Amino acid sequence: MSGDARHAVLAAALEGVCARIESATRAVGRLPHDVTLVVVTKSWPVSDIRALHELGVRDFAENKHQEAESKAADTAELDLHWHFVGQIQSNKATRIASYPDMVHSVDSVRVAQRLDAGASSHDREIDCLVQVSLDEEVSRGGRGGVAWGELETVAAALDGAGALRLAGVMGVAPPGGDAISAYDRLSQASRIVRAISASATIVSAGMSGDFEDAIRAGATHVRVGSAILGQRPALR
C-alpha cells in the first residue's frame, strides 16, 4: 500500500473510532474529551505513528520494551506522549523508565521500586497506574495484574515513590468473559486507589472490541489497536 493510501485508511478508521467514543460518552452523559484515546501501535511501523500524528493523535502505546524504546527514539522530534502497557519483568523496569510518560502496567512493589530508581536516575517523573487483575479468579495476581489483596500495597508504593506519581488503575477484561462486570470491578478498584491519593483519577480500560463498555463504567483512557490499524501482522 502506498503511503497516501495507508494515510487514507488510517484516517477513516480513526474517524470511526472517534465517532464510537463520542456516542459512548454522550450515551452516559459524559463529554468525548473526558476520554483519552491511546493508540496501541505494537507491531506496526513508525510510518503509521507519523501518519496518525498528522491526523492529530498524540498518545501512543507499546507493550514490549525494545520495540517501545526504539519507536520512542525514532519519533523523538514529535510531541508524543508514550504509554507503556505491557507486562514488566522487574529486571527491565529500570530501563523502561527512560522513555514513557505513563506506565499502565505496574503490578508489584518490586516493579514500582525499579521504575522509581530508573526514573530518578533519568531525572524524570512518570505517571503510573496499578494494573488490576479482572479475571474471575482474583485470588491470584501476576500476569494479568495485582490481586485485590495487593492493590493497596502496590498503590501505596507508587504513592510513596519520589519519581513516580500514583495516577490511577488499569485493567484488561478477560477474553470471552463478561466485560461489563470486569469494568465495574475496575471502577471499585479506582475508588480504593483514590482513597490513597485523590488525584489518582485515571481509569485505563477498554480495547477495540469493548471500549464502549469501559466508557460506560468510567474509563478515562481507552487503548485501541486493531480498530484503527487493522489486524496485527503475524509476529516476527
Ligand X SMILES: *Cc1c(COP(=O)(O)O)cnc(C)c1O
Binding-site ranges for ligand X (CB under 6 A): 40, 42, 63, 85, 172, 207-209, 223-227
With both helix axes pointing from N to C terminus, report the angle between 148-160 and 109-121 in degrees, rounded to the nearest 10. 20
CA dihedral 73, 77, 83, 87 (to 10 degrees): 0
Which is nearer to ligand X, 135 or 163 (by Cβ)?
Answer: 135
Closest CA to 132 of 104, 166, 93: 104
Which DSSP symbol is given to 201? -
Nearest approach, Cβ of 173 to ligand X (angstroms)? 10
Nearest approach, Cβ of 207 to ligand X (angstroms)? 4
For residue 51, the surrounding DSSP H or E stretch is: helix 46-54
Amino acid at 88: I
d(CA 32, CA 21): 6
Residues 150, 141 contacting (CB under 8 angstroms)? yes
Which is nearer to ligand X, 41 or 190 (by Cβ)?
Answer: 41
Nearest approach, Cβ of 170 to ligand X (angstroms)? 8
Which is nearer to ligand X, 163 or 216 (by Cβ)?
Answer: 216
- Residue corresponding to grid cell 481509569: 203
Residue with the CB atom nearest ligand X in the bound state:
225
Grid cell locating 15: 474517524
Which is nearer to ligand X, 97 or 227 (by Cβ)?
Answer: 227
Nearest approach, Cβ of 162 to ligand X (angstroms)? 27
Nearest approach, Cβ of 62 to ligand X (angstroms)? 9
Evaluated on CA atoms 125, 98, 129, 156, the torsion sign reads negative
Which is nearer to ligand X, 10 or 224 (by Cβ)?
Answer: 224
Nearest approach, Cβ of 195 to ligand X (angstroms)? 25
Which is nearer to ligand X, 152 or 210 (by Cβ)?
Answer: 210
